[in-house]
Structure 1
Amino acid sequence: MIMSQPPVPTDYAAGQLWRCNGREPGEQPTLLINLVETHPLGGRIFHITLDGLRVRHPGLPGGVMTRLAHAPVIEQTFERSGMVYIGPQAPAADYRKGYDEWRQAFDAGHAASFGVSVPTILEILERRLNGIPLDQP
């Protein structure tokens, strides 16, 4: 039986699941777009869930984070992350808590969104979780 690939969307929207670049060959994360917002100053902000991760996290059993329920990104993240469309999927149920925390901080002027690649987001996250300065090699 031949499985046909879903047509690749012409625009990014909520309910799309993508495979993207990881930091190493064994890390092949998926990126799910949960919500798209338009901000008057910042254009579109995409609220995503990343799964299939291998991020060192000393506070978790086993020391590895495999899922990031919420991250706010802009379209440049997609352009820099080697995105391959997988198909439609319902938004993740667990992204709202992180979204609500981000939204409160964003509205207060204390948060922004990422425009870097997914591998760079994962590197920033891992360094923060492990107390490694971002400017240290």
Structure 2
Amino acid sequence: MSDTAVLGGGCFWCVEAVLRGMRGILSLTPGYAGGDTEAPTYKQVCSGQTGHAEVVEVEFDPEIISYKDLLKIFFTLHDPTTLNRQGNDIGTQYRSVIFYKDENQKKTAEAVKTEIEKENIWGAPLG
């Protein structure tokens, strides 16, 4: 049985590259989420007018990697303290975001975020 997570940590290709080949990751699908335009183009998303973020849908095997562990990796593979930016990539589409599929994922994400903030690994509050 597999599970899914939708994560945005800046450029979807960068997130995808870090997760690719990790034990328990079954598939990775880059795309856009969270906006108002149906099936937006790259150009439309880059305009900042659609409200979309670059995301990766991660299909994973929870028997090998838990959602909690996946989120711990997510919070360390990008800088979640910078608003609408990852390195030289600037724009609302590069924001740090987690799209929950249910209340359980939301609670887990909030708990992991709190844990990461307490560890102060970024030296700044998470966005």
* Larger Rg belongs to: 1
TM more than 0.5: no
The structure richer in strand per residue is: 1
Flag the structure with more relative contact order, 1 or 2, with Cα contacts below 8 A and sequence separation at least 6: 2
Provide the TM-score with structure 2 as the length reference.
Answer: 0.26
